[in-house]
Homo-oligomer: A and B are copies of this chain.
Amino acid sequence: MPKKTELVLDDTDHRLLDELQDDAGRTLRELGEIVGLSPSAVQRRVERYRSSGLLARTAAVLDPTFSPDLVLAVCLVSVERESRRLHEAFHRRLLAAPEVQQVYAVYGEWDYVVVLAASGMAHHGEISTRLLMDAPNVRKYTTLFVLDPIRIGSTIPTGALRT
Q: Which residues of A contact B (CB under 8 A)?
A: 1-3, 17-18, 20-25, 53-72, 74, 91, 94-95, 98-108, 110, 113, 117-120, 123, 144-157, 159-162
Alpha-carbon distance between A159 and B126 when the two chains are bound, in angstroms? 14
A58 touches B152 (CB 8 A): no
B61 touches A58 (CB 8 A): yes
A154 touches B153 (CB 8 A): yes
Q: Could you tell me the distance in whole angstroms from the C-beta of A36 to the nearest C-beta in chain B?
A: 19
Residues of chain B contacted by A56 (CB below 8 angstroms) = 61-63
Residues of chain B contacted by A153 (CB below 8 angstroms) = 59, 101-102, 154
A150 touches B103 (CB 8 A): yes
By beta carbon, the residue of chain B nearest A143 is B108
Give 28 CB contacts A-B under 8 Å: A1-B65, A21-B62, A22-B57, A23-B58, A25-B57, A25-B58, A54-B62, A55-B62, A58-B58, A58-B60, A64-B156, A66-B162, A71-B160, A74-B104, A74-B106, A94-B150, A99-B157, A101-B155, A103-B149, A103-B151, A104-B148, A104-B150, A106-B144, A106-B147, A108-B145, A110-B144, A119-B157, A123-B159
Residues of chain B contacted by A155 (CB below 8 angstroms) = 59, 98, 101, 117
Contact of A160 among B25, B108, B120, B151 (CB under 8 A): B120
